[in-house]
Amino acid sequence: MQSAEIELKFLIADAADLEARLPALGFHLDTPRTFEQNTLYDTPERRLRESQQILRIRQYGDLWTVTHKRPDAVDGDPRYKVRIETETHVDDAPAIAEIFCQLGYCAMFRYEKFRTEWSHPTDDAVSPLHLVIDETPIGIYGELEGPTAWIDRMLEALHIDPAACTTKSYGKLFLDWKARTESSAENLTFDEVEAGMAVHSA
C-alpha cells in the first residue's frame, strides 16, 4: 500500500497525563503498549540516506512489515514531515533481509521503542488520523499523523507548543542525543543506550 504520510513529533513530559486526556478529545485506543524493533537498510555509501529515503524492516508485536519512504515531490509546508510511504506485511522477515543484503542493502541502524497507538475518527480524512506514543531509550515522543489542519487543531487541544515540535527522524534524534551525551551507543536500543551511558558515567 502506498500513501502520503504527514506527521509531526513532540517530546512528552508526562505520558500518563497525556493519555488520560485523549478519550475526551475523541481518541480511541487501537493498540496497547507494544514492543517494536526496527532495522534500516542502506548501501555502504549510504545512498538512501543521502536521498532522504529509508528502507526498513519492522517487527511490531507479532507483525512484520517492510517499508520504503521517500520525500514527496510536491513542496509542502516545511513545518511538517511529508513523505510517500509504501508498506506491506511480510511473513518471512529474515528472507527479506537476506534479499536486501544480496542486492547491496545492508543493516545499518537499529532502533527500539514501546508504541501505543490511538486513532481519531473523521468522515472526510484524506489520510489516517493517528496519535502514537513512543517510549524510546532517549525519551518519550508523541507523533501526530494526518492532514496539517487536523494536526494544528490537536496540538492546540493537547496544549502543545508548535515551536517545540520536530520533523526529525528517530535516527537524527539519536545522533543529536549522542552529541549531547557523548554516549558510545551505535544503535537506538535499550541495551546499547544503557550500556553506553554506563561507560560514559564510569
Domains of the chain, first to last = 2-201 (2.40.320.10)
Residue 196: the pLDDT is: 74
Lowest average pLDDT, out of 1-10, 29-38, 70-79, 129-138, goes to 70-79
Distance (Å) of CA 177 to CA 169, 186, 200: 12, 12, 13
Residue 57: the pLDDT is: 98
Pairwise pLDDT comparison (53 vs 79), residue with the higher score: 53
Confidence tier at 125 by pLDDT (50, 70, 90): low
All residues at 6 or more sequence positions from 43 whose CB lies less than 8 Å from its CB, including other chains = 104, 105, 106
Separation of alpha carbons 184 and 199, rounded Å:
8
Residue 21: the pLDDT is: 96
Separation of alpha carbons 97 and 20, rounded Å:
39
Separation of alpha carbons 155 and 106, rounded Å:
38
Q: What is the residue-averaged pLDDT of the chain? A: 92
Confidence tier at 76 by pLDDT (50, 70, 90): low
pTM of the entire predicted model: 0.91
Residue 122: the pLDDT is: 76
